[in-house]
């Protein structure tokens, strides 16, 4: 098999082959990235995207808090935004926020500065970039409520600035194109004494800990809530609360959480999730939609890039 790195442009950041991804996800499962790229800064990211062979796919991986990576790993280049993309700058109640920062960490920093409006983020495990793409939310609030503008880079290295007003947000969705990487965003809150903001955050964290399995390896909500219904109630109706397969489990604490209880494989977790979908559909007629994003191949069969690129050149 040809070495993928030999077909990629030089970068200033880290480009590593065959990197195990299980430590990059909250479920702690998954195969390797064929190559993992951690750009030095946005210029490095843009340089890479403009010069990479377009036949080689790219996948963006943030905190890995809502993904299930299969044992076969992810072909092509996985991009992971590092420390440069975790910077935060403040001007009054408005913040410029790097896409790589965990939203809970940003919420804590904003609270210390006495800025309210971001408290709900303290209970969301993802990064700012991924949370914007998915319009992450909880406790009646979501990203769209605080967002002012984004800066994104598409997979061809083109830069885009878009105001929040020009983005259509829905339940766990946005119209931000799938081939855009959010690199920065601007969000706005309001001034409030920091002790009040911190108190609200602690109350939300306590509520989450009391109702969700925060003490184990999970990836957040397993399925999206169908309109007008709760996924966990449908799972309960189907009798699947606490169901197990290998080391995978549907949480007894919250039926819409998929848990790596004891050395589960990605196949255990995905199969159990599909079993739940089947049982719910049989019991209720409702087809649940995965909220966890499934990535990668069932078994490692990375392409031979030399043949693919040669074929492409011959067709030009």
How far, in Å, CA of 57 to CA of 236, rounded? 39
Beta carbons within 8 Å of 312's beta carbon, 6+ residues apart: 53, 55
Which is catalytic among the residues 172, 205, 208, 244? 172
Asked about 291 being catalytic, the answer comes back as: yes
Asked about 163 being catalytic, the answer comes back as: no
Instruction: Please give the C-alpha separations between residue 108 and each of 129, 197, 291, in angstroms, as whole numbers.
Output: 17, 9, 26
Which is catalytic among the residues 71, 119, 149, 291? 291
How far, in Å, CA of 308 to CA of 302, rounded? 12
Asked about 71 being catalytic, the answer comes back as: no
Burial of 95 (0-12, 13-18, 19+ CB in 10 A): buried
162 SS3 class: strand
158 SS3 class: coil
Which is catalytic among the residues 42, 185, 221, 251? 221
Instruction: Please give the C-alpha separations between residue 82 and each of 85, 123, 209, in angstroms, as whole numbers.
Output: 6, 22, 28
Active-site residues, by number, are 172, 221, 291
């Amino acid at each position: 098999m040809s070495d993928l790195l030999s077909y990629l442009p030089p970068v200033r950041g880290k480009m590593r082959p065959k990197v195990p991804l299980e430590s990059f996800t909250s479920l702690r499962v998954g195969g390797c990235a064929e190559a993992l790229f951690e750009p030095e800064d946005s210029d490095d990211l843009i340089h890479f995207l403009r010069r990479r062979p377009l036949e080689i796919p790219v996948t963006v991986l943030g905190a890995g808090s809502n993904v299930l990576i299969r044992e076969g790993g992810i072909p092509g280049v996985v991009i992971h935004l590092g420390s440069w993309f975790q910077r935060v700058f403040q001007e009054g109640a408005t913040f410029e926020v790097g896409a790589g920062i965990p939203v809970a960490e940003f919420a804590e920093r904003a609270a210390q500065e006495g800025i309210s409006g971001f408290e709900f983020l303290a209970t969301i495990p993802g990064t700012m970039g991924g949370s914007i793409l998915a319009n992450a939310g909880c406790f009646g609030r979501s990203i769209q409520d605080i967002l002012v503008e984004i800066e994104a880079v598409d997979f061809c290295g083109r830069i885009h600035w878009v105001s929040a007003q020009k983005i259509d947000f829905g339940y766990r969705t946005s119209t931000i194109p799938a081939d855009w990487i959010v690199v920065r965003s601007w969000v706005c809150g309001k001034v409030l004494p920091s002790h009040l903001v911190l108190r609200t955050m602690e109350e939300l964290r306590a509520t989450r800990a009391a109702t969700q399995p925060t003490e184990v390896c999970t990836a957040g909500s397993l399925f999206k809530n169908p309109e007008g219904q709760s996924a966990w109630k449908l799972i309960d109706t189907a009798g699947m609360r606490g169901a197990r397969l290998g080391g995978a489990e549907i949480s007894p604490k919250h039926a819409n959480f998929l848990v790596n209880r004891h050395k589960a494989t990605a196949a255990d977790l995905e199969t159990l999730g599909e079993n739940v979908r089947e049982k719910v559909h049989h019991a209720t007629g409702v087809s649940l939609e995965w909220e966890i994003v499934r990535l990668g191949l069932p078994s490692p069969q990375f392409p031979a890039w030399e043949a693919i690129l040669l074929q492409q050149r011959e067709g030009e």
